[in-house]
Amino acid sequence: MRSLICTFGFDDRKIIDAMRSINHDEMIIVTGVDNTQLDAYLRLVEICNALRTPVRTITIDVFNFAKSFETMIALIRELRSKGNEVQMNISGGLPLLSDAALLAAFNEGVVSYYVDEKVMKLPVLKNVTIGERLTSRQKEALKIVGSGIEPSRIDPSSKKDTELKSALLALKTLGLIKFEEGVGKMVLTKEGETVRDWIDRTEKAR
């Protein structure tokens, strides 16, 4: 079975476009509890019922990034445990929820889409987790940045620091760290904090 997870905020149009463009056998809507009272949400459910497409709704705190991320991870793994093919559409949700959904897809190697007139397939490697994608040096750098790194303290003549700089550049490209001008340090983004915490929990569970 092909499961399509859709984040939903207030607008149903992008989700309807995704339903038309992405082949699926069931749809799971992830949204805030208050949003289930909206006409746009009710229209989505009506369309699914009319098409005889099974639809399930999961309500979460859409303003809690970490919880949204963990909920998405659990949902993806639940669906896969049933043998389902999982796809993600992040175009309909609020920015924070969609960011958490994309990071979960990135972590679990789930094919993801953004639909806005055209269907855009996002650069997520299928069935490759973020833990497998990051090198050991990049994971180490992610933990080091947690306390803040001043770029001026990186010694270009040091092989270890050169490797650290390369790892930091890779993490910055992935959107996991950023330069905070106010404090003059490299710091974790909210996505970076979530990935770091997730890697820590995964390593402790081994």
User: Residue holding tokens 């659990």?
Assistant: 74
pLDDT averaged over every residue in the chain: 83
pLDDT digits (tens, 9 = 90+) for 141-188: 888 887 666 655 665 556 666 787 788 888 888 778 888 776 667 788
> Which pLDDT tens digit goes with each residue over 24-56?
999 999 999 999 999 999 999 999 999 999 999
**Where in the chain are the domains?**
2-121, 134-205
CATH of range 134-205; options 3.40.50.12780, 3.60.150.10, 1.10.10.10, 1.10.1660.10: 1.10.10.10
Q: How far apart are CA 49 and CA 34, in angstroms?
A: 21
d(CA 199, CA 142): 10
Rounded-to-integer distance, Cα 47 and Cα 106, Å: 29
CA 97 to CA 64: how far, in whole Å?
8
Q: Give the angle 167-172-178 at the CA atoms, nearest 5°.
A: 120
Q: Answer for the pair 113, 7: CB distance below 8 angstroms, yes or no.
A: no
pLDDT of residue 157: 58
Task: Let me know if domain 2-121 sits in CATH 3.40.50.2000.
Answer: no
Compute the average pLDDT of residues 68-91: 93
> Using 50, 70 and 90 to split pLDDT, how confident is the model at 95?
confident
Cα dihedral 186/70/97/171 (nearest 10): 20
Lowest model confidence (mean pLDDT) among 11-20, 57-66, 84-93, 177-186 = 177-186
pTM of the shown model = 0.67
Alpha helices in the chain (DSSP H): 13-21, 39-50, 65-81, 95-108, 130-133, 136-145, 159-173, 190-205
Between helices 136-145 and 159-173, what is the axis angle to 10°? 80
Q: What is the residue-wise DSSP string for 112-160? A: EEEEESEEEE----TT--HHHHS-HHHHHHHHHHTT-B-GGG--TT-HH
